[in-house]
Amino acid sequence: MLTSDTGISRADEHNKAIAKLDSWLRELLADDPQLPAIRSRLAVMMGLLTPAEGMPDTVAERVDREIGWGIRQYLAAIARKGPLILVVDDLQWAEPQVVETLEQLTDRAAEVPMLLICIARPEFLEGRRDWAAGQPNSTTITLDPLTPTETGTLISRLLEIEALPSELRKEIIERSAGTPLYCEEFIQMLIDEGRSFVMEPAGGATGSIGEIRVPHSIQAVLAARLDSLPDGEKGVLQAASVVGERFEAGQVSDMTGVPDAEGELASLRRKGLVTGGDGARGEMAFRHILIRDAAYASLPKSERAALHDRSETASRAGQATPNH
């Protein structure tokens, strides 16, 4: 969010990135006496300053808390400019410091128009029974898996037809266990493979069905879908998975040596595997973290290690000389 707000990209030199951060914060926090403190903590969070440079009087044990304070102040300032809706997905994988910051945000930013939506799997609450407990301004909503009827409706809408061959439809419904992502990725895999479905007068669907194997889990669906990608697209997606859930086209090009990584990523975006992107400097992201995990898991260990080495080399090359 902060990278997008400031316009900072991986290609920016250190001084340029700092200048962009300062320009944005001066505009947002023009009359706020806490601007210098907020700026230093956000700069440390973004890796533009070390804790020793940005917070020289802060002991190491308090650095994370101070950064959390800076984040809360920044989000509150955004909300004062206009109502803010902040959506955090897959909270079950967040670091403890992130979870603590979000919980404190709901408690200490009640005076600004902000709606915080945190999405997590059930196991998140299993380990945190007191999450948002006792807070009058919070509500927990539990979403149950889709019913077989709802799953069937989703399949029809994804394919824009009313039916699949009955056996295939039944198998998808059973193995999805009410998980929308399973249905979305499996149907998209059929589309990627060029499968076609035509409605017959009798109400059934026919077409190039052939022998279709229905995977038993979402992980197996994603693995099968990645295997069906052209080699170039799969290689770019695997390289991006080494960078992380978010990445830039330039990073992938540096790692793979593919000058047209943007073209491969554009195709992957059309297929719904990645999102975002605005040229070489636009940040992109995997549509779902499980897609990133599947791409990463598909890499042989030797190739994975080589890509990590290239990623670190590219990162060092892209870092600007600190301002001393």
Please provide residue 190's backbone torsions phi and psi, each rounded to the nearest 5 degrees.
Answer: -60, -40
Is residue 205 domain-shared with residue 306, that is, in the same domain? no
Is residue 102 domain-shared with residue 192, that is, in the same domain? no
- pLDDT single digits (tens) 19-31: 999 999 999 998 8
Alpha carbon distance 278, 262 (integer Å): 9
Alpha carbon distance 180, 221 (integer Å): 12
Task: Please report which confidence band the pLDDT of residue 303 belongs to, taking 50, 70 and 90 as the band edges.
Answer: confident
Asked if the structure places residue 142 within a domain, the reply is no
Tokens for 254, please give them.
């540096």
First-to-last C-alpha distance (Å) of the chain: 28
Using alpha carbons only, what angle is made at residue 21 by residues 244 and 117, rounded to the nearest 5 degrees?
A: 55
Asked if the structure places residue 23 within a domain, the reply is yes
Asked if the structure places residue 323 within a domain, the reply is no
Element (H, E) at 189: helix 180-192
Alpha carbon distance 228, 91 (integer Å): 30
pLDDT at 33: 94
Asked if the structure places residue 32 within a domain, the reply is yes
Alpha carbon distance 18, 116 (integer Å): 28
Asked if the structure places residue 131 within a domain, the reply is no
| Residue 243, CA distances (Å) to 90, 185, 246, 247, 277 in order | 18, 23, 7, 6, 15
Asked if the structure places residue 302 within a domain, the reply is yes
Assessment of whether the complete model's pTM goes beyond 0.85 = no
Task: Please report which confidence band the pLDDT of residue 138 belongs to, taking 50, 70 and 90 as the band edges.
Answer: confident
Cβ contact 149:189 at 8 Å: no
- pLDDT single digits (tens) 41-87: 999 999 999 999 999 999 999 999 999 999 999 999 999 999 999 99
Q: What range defines the domain where residue 242 resides? A: 229-318
Alpha carbon distance 37, 23 (integer Å): 15
Instruction: Average the pLDDT over 215-242 and give the result.
Output: 89
> Strand, helix or coil at 321?
coil
How many domains does the structure of the chain reveal?
Answer: 3
Asked if the structure places residue 48 within a domain, the reply is yes
Given 224, 259, 282, the domain boundary residue is: 224
Asked if the structure places residue 138 within a domain, the reply is no
> Strand, helix or coil at 81?
helix
